[in-house]
């Protein structure tokens, strides 16, 4: 009989081993899914785990998708570590895209590259503003931030739709619901010619270092963590829970907004109803699979990006539905949560019954 | 023990080892029907594990348990309760979101209706003199009140063996008397009582048999009535606890003054503080006695700054009004605080000891820059100093707070606050659930701090402790604070009377005296 036995200390080994084991289980279940759908599982796995890394260009595409995921997840990790549950990063991403897009639309042919910092700043402020609504409602009226941030996602989507179907619609766009293509000057600078990688990647890497330093080496980050882990200890120490709430939501909102700005002024280049790609929701999984740790988030963002690309390829190459991406994302989170049991418990084999009096 | 009647409970060579420690090593325990049997030992001696084995919450690796002479394999607490074994845990197992009655209902036979349980519980509580309001949600109860709920819950099952884990730590002396009377009454009906404690006086007064544990092994089996505190201590810790130095006080400047502190309760189950006034001078320890749930939590939160609802001007630290300042400002002014709850309030359970120094010692380890740079070296070395100075048994500065035993974590927290060289130190329940050795050490550290000129306020529900270390004592009852009395002039009876809210205030002496006599007769 298998039994779970509590460990005296949480296992450091399984802290790292659990996501890897979860990945193994995800692959095994993935193979079963491919077989059930009548597809060659080897081909399926190649599409998900080999195609995205087989060439330089494929790797660059992997980075393009991983960048917004990592940026959003970094902000969310700060938030979740503070015990503030912002699950509406998607909405903050969209708002950031809208405000950044608004600034980009102001540019004309004579505009210089000075507009780019403004676009990014607008994105950050847009995301912060959207998160600040949730912070204000929580602070003033004790409204649940989980619900408020989630519902604001749909509001943000509708605001975007209103703008691209209405006032911001490209007059020369054959009535398609989209803005005009942004001026060349607004284009986020690329890092390598011939790829779509832009300076967003650098921003993400700086973000990783920045978040690590902030959370683990500064008093401010420590205060946030204490507020998340033990609210009574935070009160005892005199750390403000209101400040933690605002910091957490503004940081995560700002990060999501920045990712939105980098997307619209980068790979997309205009506002369309298809700006929301689910990055904000996927980033929640990225944050948790990455153990709310900045280094871990880098790896989980890459993994999640593989699922995105693999899902698209599975659609075009194998004729599988695109929703397979979501299935894989969900599987990974699900198996991770299951495997996390091993951090606090060990599995032991015990014979069925212990005879009383056995010596 | 008679040959004809089988023993109520017999534990035979039980051993239980955990991954990092042997909790019980070949332990034997014999309990006759109707016997009050003490299990004595320091924290970590294996008392709790042994009780959990009897109660079915833990499975022994080897050995067996006989109940009424028959080998019994109790698989879980439900089976134990069905057999008639009940337990009151030291760490309470109550659901915080529901009421007292609903909590009791959860542990009982499902054939009762909630209403019947409410009545039975209220009746049982009254019968045993335990003050319990059955309709209050548990989250609003203090530690002491929760313990009373646990006792009532255990009594409701009409147990054959009742296990009590440190039951008196939160009762008034009078209530302890009442409890002892009921326990003796219960024992006379044939119920065996296993009484886990480290209070030697109580054991010697109440128990007829005593099994002493040290390091998981039985070190003695004695009749406590024939023993002295010193001989029991020796069995328990292998040496006598060091004697505390008590000397006449030389008080200095007034450190903290509280005047007109009235705060309305935040919810219907909180306690409203009513015009509290006192002062603490440098070089003295002032005690606040009282049964838990009489406003201690509210008073402490107002003094520490965890709550800033105190009226302006009501709390002064060296003449500065701090009544609405947050704890960090108060700390900067020299006011430090050791809270009652260690895990989750005094320390973050999952964080290392090193990181936990930041809660109250940020001034010593955080860099001056705007970012507030935290150097892991600085926090680790600070934690190392505390561990060394206060003889904390821990894996080192990197050990998580929750990996320490209660006594060691308390030593760490007390050490952390004392290390800050406070001018005023407030300590709540300094030795609650702490073993004798650690308790003596903590009390010694507090006395030393007093002699160095710190003003100390100690809020405790353990009268012995207050009598031992305080120079003056107040009593808090129903949100009001009594005048202070010198410890040398106080008696346990008088303080116990005051705990019911009956004390003489100048001007109404006559009326109060009348009331007090009335209460004595009641």
ipTM: 0.81
Give the C-alpha separation, B316 to B277, whole Å: 11
Q: What is the model's pLDDT at position B244?
A: 55
Is 80 exceeded by the pLDDT of residue B506? no
Distance from CA of B467 to the nearest CA of A (A): 28
Q: What is the model's pLDDT at position A145?
A: 94
3-class secondary-structure state, position B428:
strand
Cβ contact A64:A306 at 8 Å:
no
Question: Containing H/E element for A116?
Answer: helix A115-141
Q: How far is CA A81 from the centre of its chain?
A: 15
Query: A357 touching B, CB under 8 A?
Result: yes
- For residue A354, give the chain B residue with the closest CA: B61
For the segment B240-246, the average pLDDT, to the nearest whole number, is 54
Interchain CB distance below 8 Å, A222 and B358: yes
Whether B335-421 and B9-237 are alike in CATH topology: the answer is yes
Cβ contact B412:B387 at 8 Å:
yes
Q: Please state the domain extents for chain A.
A: 1-39+326-350, 57-319
Is 80 exceeded by the pLDDT of residue B246? no
Q: What is the model's pLDDT at position B251?
A: 79
Distance from CA of A46 to the nearest CA of B (A): 41
3-class secondary-structure state, position A354:
coil
Is 90 exceeded by the pLDDT of residue B252? no
The radius of gyration computed from the CA coordinates of chain A, to the nearest angstrom, equals: 22
Is 60 exceeded by the pLDDT of residue B210? yes
Query: B62 touching A, CB under 8 A?
Result: yes
Give the C-alpha separation, B173 to B494, whole Å: 10
Distance from CA of B330 to the nearest CA of A (A): 9
Domain B335-421 fold? Rossmann fold (3.40.50)
Burial B306-331 (b: 16+ CB within 10 A, else e): bbeebeeebbbbbeeebbebbbbebb
Cβ contact A73:A295 at 8 Å:
no
Pick from A225, A233, A238: CB nearest B326: A238
Interchain CB distance below 8 Å, A222 and B355: yes
* Structural domain A57-319, CATH architecture: Orthogonal Bundle (1.10)
Q: B-chain residues within 8 Å CB-CB of A230?
A: 344-345, 347-349
pLDDT band at residue B291 under the 50/70/90 scheme: confident
Tokens of A171: 């007059």
For B367-407, what is each residue's pLDDT tens digit? 777 678 998 999 999 999 999 999 888 888 998 898 887 78
Q: What is the model's pLDDT at position B500?
A: 74
Q: What is the model's pLDDT at position B144?
A: 66
In whole angstroms, how far apart are CA B228 and each of B43, B173, B234?
21, 21, 10
Q: A-chain residues within 8 Å CB-CB of B304?
A: 236
Q: A-chain residues within 8 Å CB-CB of B59?
A: 354
Query: A219 touching B, CB under 8 A?
Result: yes
Distance from CA of A223 to the nearest CA of B (A): 8
Is 60 exceeded by the pLDDT of residue B511? no
Q: Using 70 as the pLDDT threshold, list the residues of chain A that sit under it.
A: 8, 350-359
Pick from A8, A238, A357: CB nearest B305: A238
Q: What is the model's pLDDT at position B513?
A: 45
Query: B250 touching A, CB under 8 A?
Result: no
Q: What is the model's pLDDT at position A328?
A: 85
B44 against A22, higher pLDDT: A22
Would you state the torsion angle of the CA atoms of residues A47, A50, A53, A55, taken in this order, to the nearest 10 degrees?
A: -90
Q: What is the model's pLDDT at position B518?
A: 46
Q: What is the model's pLDDT at position B171?
A: 66
B151 against B249, higher pLDDT: B151
E strands within chain A? 2-6, 345-349
Superfamily (CATH H level) for B244-310+424-522: P-loop containing nucleotide triphosphate hydrolases (3.40.50.300)
Superfamily (CATH H level) for B9-237: P-loop containing nucleotide triphosphate hydrolases (3.40.50.300)
For B56-66, what is each residue's pLDDT tens digit? 888 888 998 88
Q: What is the model's pLDDT at position B169?
A: 64
Largest CA distance in chain A: 91
Give the C-alpha separation, A241 to B404, whole Å: 27
Q: Please state the domain extents for chain B.
A: 9-237, 244-310+424-522, 335-421
Pick from B18, B73, B350: CB nearest A8: B18
- Please write down the long-range contacts of B106-111, taking CB distance under 8 Å and 24 or more positions apart: B107/B81, B107/B153, B107/B157, B108/B156, B108/B157
Tokens of B150: 């646990």
- Which one of B345, B368, B379 would you mutate to disrupt binding with A, by most A Cβ within 10 Å of its Cβ? B345
Give the C-alpha separation, A236 to A219, whole Å: 16
Query: A351 touching B, CB under 8 A?
Result: no
pLDDT band at residue B318 under the 50/70/90 scheme: very high
Query: B331 touching A, CB under 8 A?
Result: yes
Cβ contact B471:B486 at 8 Å:
yes
Query: B117 touching A, CB under 8 A?
Result: no
- Beta strand B209-214 pairing with B36-40: parallel
Q: What is the model's pLDDT at position B452?
A: 92
Is 60 exceeded by the pLDDT of residue B517? no
Pick from B339, B358, B403: CB nearest A219: B358
- What values do phi and psi take at B24, rounded to 5? -135, 130
Counting DSSP H helices and E strands in chain A, the numbers are 14, 2
Q: What is the model's pLDDT at position B316?
A: 95
Which string of DSSP letters, residue by residue, matches A247-272?
HHHHHHHHHHHHHHHHHIIIII-S--
Cβ contact A236:B345 at 8 Å:
yes
- Beta strand B285-289 pairing with B335-338: unpaired
Task: Mention every residue, 6+ apart, whose C-beta is less than 8 A from residue A334.
Answer: none
Q: In what order do the strands lie in the sheet with B22-31?
A: B22-31, B9-17, B62-67, B70-72
Q: Give the DSSP letter of residue B352.
A: B
Q: How far is CA A153 from the centre of its chain?
A: 14
Cβ contact A133:A148 at 8 Å:
yes
Is 80 exceeded by the pLDDT of residue B315? yes
């Amino acid at each position: 009989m298998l039994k779970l036995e509590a460990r005296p200390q949480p296992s450091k080994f399984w802290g790292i081993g659990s996501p890897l084991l979860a990945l193994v289980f995800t692959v095994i279940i993935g193979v079963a899914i491919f077989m059930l759908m009548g597809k060659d599982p080897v081909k399926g796995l190649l599409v998900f785990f080999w195609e995205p890394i087989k060439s330089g260009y494929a790797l660059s595409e992997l980075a393009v998708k991983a960048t917004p995921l990592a940026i959003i997840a970094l902000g969310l990790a700060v938030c979740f570590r503070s015990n503030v549950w912002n699950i509406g990063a998607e909405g903050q991403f969209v708002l950031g895209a809208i405000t950044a897009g608004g600034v980009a639309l102001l540019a004309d042919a004579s505009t210089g590259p000075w507009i780019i910092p403004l676009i990014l700043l607008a994105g950050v402020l847009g995301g912060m503003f959207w998160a600040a609504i949730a912070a204000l409602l929580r602070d003033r009226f004790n409204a649940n931030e989980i619900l408020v941030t989630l519902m604001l996602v749909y509001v943000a989507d509708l605001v975007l739709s209103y703008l691209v179907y209405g006032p911001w619609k490209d007059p020369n766009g054959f009535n398609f619901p989209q803005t005009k293509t942004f001026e060349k000057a607004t284009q986020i600078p690329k890092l390598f010619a011939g790829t779509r990688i832009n300076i967003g990647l650098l921003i993400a890497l700086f973000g990783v270092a920045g978040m690590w330093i902030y959370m683990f080496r500064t008093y401010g980050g420590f205060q946030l963590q204490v507020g998340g882990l033990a609210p009574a200890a935070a009160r005892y120490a005199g750390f403000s829970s209101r400040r933690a709430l605002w910091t957490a939501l503004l940081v995560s909102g700002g990060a999501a907004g920045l990712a939105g700005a980098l997307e619209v002024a980068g790979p997309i280049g205009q506002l369309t109803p298809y700006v929301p790609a689910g990055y904000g929701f996927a980033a929640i999984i990225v944050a948790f699979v990455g153990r709310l740790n900045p280094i871990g988030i880098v790896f989980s963002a890459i993994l999640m990006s593989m699922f995105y690309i693999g899902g698209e390829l599975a659609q075009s190459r194998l004729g599988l539905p695109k929703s397979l991406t979501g299935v894989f994302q969900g599987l990974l989170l699900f198996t991770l949560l299951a495997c996390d049991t091993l951090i606090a418990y060990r599995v032991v084999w015990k014979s069925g019954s212990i005879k009383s009096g056995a010596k | 023990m008679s040959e004809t009647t089988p023993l109520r409970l017999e534990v035979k060579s039980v051993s239980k080892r955990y991954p990092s420690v042997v909790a019980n090593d070949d332990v034997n325990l014999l309990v006759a029907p109707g016997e009050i049997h003490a299990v004595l030992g320091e924290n970590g001696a294996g008392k709790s594990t042994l009780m959990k084995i009897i109660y079915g919450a833990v499975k022994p690796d080897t050995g067996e348990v006989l109940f009424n002479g028959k080998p019994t394999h109790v698989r879980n607490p439900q089976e134990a309760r069905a057999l008639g074994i009940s337990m009151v845990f030291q760490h309470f197992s109550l659901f915080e979101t529901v009421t007292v009655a609903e909590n009791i209902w959860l542990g009982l036979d499902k054939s009762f209706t909630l209403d019947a349980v409410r009545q039975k519980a209220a009746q049982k509580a009254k019968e045993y003199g335990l003050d319990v309001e059955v309709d209050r949600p548990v989250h609003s109860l203090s530690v002491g009140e929760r313990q009373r709920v646990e006792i009532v819950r255990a009594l409701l099952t009409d147990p054959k063996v009742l296990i009590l884990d440190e039951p008196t730590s939160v009762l008034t002396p009078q209530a302890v008397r009442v409890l002892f009377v009921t326990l003796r009454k219960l024992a006379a009906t044939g119920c065996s009582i296993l009484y886990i404690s480290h209070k030697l006086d109580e054991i010697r007064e109440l128990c007829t048999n005593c099994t002493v544990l040290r390091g998981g092994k039985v070190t003695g089996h004695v009749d406590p009535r024939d023993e002295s505190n010193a001989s029991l201590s020796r069995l328990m810790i292998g040496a006598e606890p060091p004697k505390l130095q008590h000397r006449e006080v030389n008080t200095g400047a007034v450190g903290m003054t509280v005047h007109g502190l009235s705060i309305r309760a935040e919810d219907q189950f909180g306690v409203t503080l009513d015009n509290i006034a006192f002062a603490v001078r440098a070089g003295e320890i002032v005690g606040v006695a009282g049964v838990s749930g009489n406003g201690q939590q509210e008073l402490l939160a107002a003094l520490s700054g965890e709550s800033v609802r105190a009226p302006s001007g009501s709390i002064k630290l060296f003449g500065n009004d701090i009544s609405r300042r947050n704890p960090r400002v108060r700390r900067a002014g020299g006011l430090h605080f050791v809270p009652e709850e260690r895990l989750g309030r005094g320390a973050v359970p999952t964080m290392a000891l090193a990181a936990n120094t930041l809660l109250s010692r940020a001034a010593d380890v955080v860099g001056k820059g705007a970012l507030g740079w935290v150097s892991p070296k600085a926090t680790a070395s600070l934690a190392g100093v505390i561990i060394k100075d206060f003889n904390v048994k821990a894996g080192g500065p990197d050990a998580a707070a929750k990996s320490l035993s209660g006594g060691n974590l308390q030593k760490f927290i007390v050490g952390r606050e004392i290390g800050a060289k406070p001018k005023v130190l407030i300590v709540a329940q300094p030795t609650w659930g702490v073993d004798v050795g650690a308790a003596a050490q903590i009390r010694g550290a507090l006395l030393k701090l007093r002699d160095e000129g710190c003003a100390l306020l100690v809020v405790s529900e353990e009268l012995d402790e207050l009598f031992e270390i305080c120079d003056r004592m107040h009593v808090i009852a129903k949100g009001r604070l009594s005048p202070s009395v010198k410890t040398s002039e106080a008696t346990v009876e008088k303080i116990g009377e005051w705990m019911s809210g009956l004390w003489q205030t100048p001007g109404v002496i006559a009326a109060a005296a009348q009331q007090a006599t009335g209460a004595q007769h009641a």
